[in-house]
Structure 1
């Protein structure tokens, strides 16, 4: 199971790097929405290629699709919103403040999602130490944004 944390660690590094190339693409092409479409098309192509090469790509049947909760389809919209924030916000506030705010908001939101078991997550109560960790995240991102 520890390898999953390694995967998450690498994804975190990618998350920190991604706004740079994305916003550079938007700035250089002078077309932020074009850049967003490029990001989505390249992401989709990469998922398609890895899915096909690994033999793990298959489409759900109609019965499986009917079992998917309505809110599960919102991930694509949230991903588009995240990409747009990288294109428009990250260049203005800087990598540290952008990613610090992004990660801190994610941690605080995850505390609520875990505590109540919302959005498909198992319940993990928001105890004192988890909440304290969230407070430290807010303090840390405030320092990064101010200095």
Structure 2
């Protein structure tokens, strides 16, 4: 396992939860989830634009865009749905339940995507260990929601 990848994934998980708090606060103060979401995306776009030169980013090869499958263009819409849901539901549910729901749903979806190789992922069969881990996530979700 690559430690740098693991560290970045852990940081992304922590920041995903912290992001819920900052975005909900933005929504509360502005009183409008749509404008809060626009600000979240504009700030994110600016962060990417500032980071890109330091990462050695180049433009895609000519013609590459025409080979992108239709569903690969939907990531931004999925992200927008997540942000809007976070803005409107995280405060109602609480950070722990919101994150438990989204992470557990993500694990269940990830297990299926890996098992069947959906959306460009390499196949990683869902053996007993992976299925047990997914079941533990579901049990954990119920424990967090009930206690």
TM-score (norm 2): 0.96
Unaligned runs of 5+ in 2: none
- For 1:69, the equivalent position in structure 2 comes to 69
Unaligned runs of 5+ in 1: none
- For 2:86, the equivalent position in structure 1 comes to 86
| Aligned-partner Cα distance in 1 for 2:88–2:146 | 20
Residues 11-42 of structure 1: per-residue CA shift (max 9 Å, x gap): 00001111111011011111111000000000
Q: What is the 5 A alignment of 1:1-147?
A: 1-56=2-57, 58-147=58-147
What is the Cα-based RMSD across aligned positions, in Å?
A: 1.0
Q: How many residues align?
A: 146
Quote how far apart the aligned CAs of 1:128 are: 0.7
| Aligned-partner Cα distance in 1 for 2:51–2:83 | 21
Quote how far apart the aligned CAs of 1:145 are: 1.1
Quote how far apart the aligned CAs of 1:123 are: 0.2
Structure 1 runs (4+) greater than 3 angstroms displaced:
none
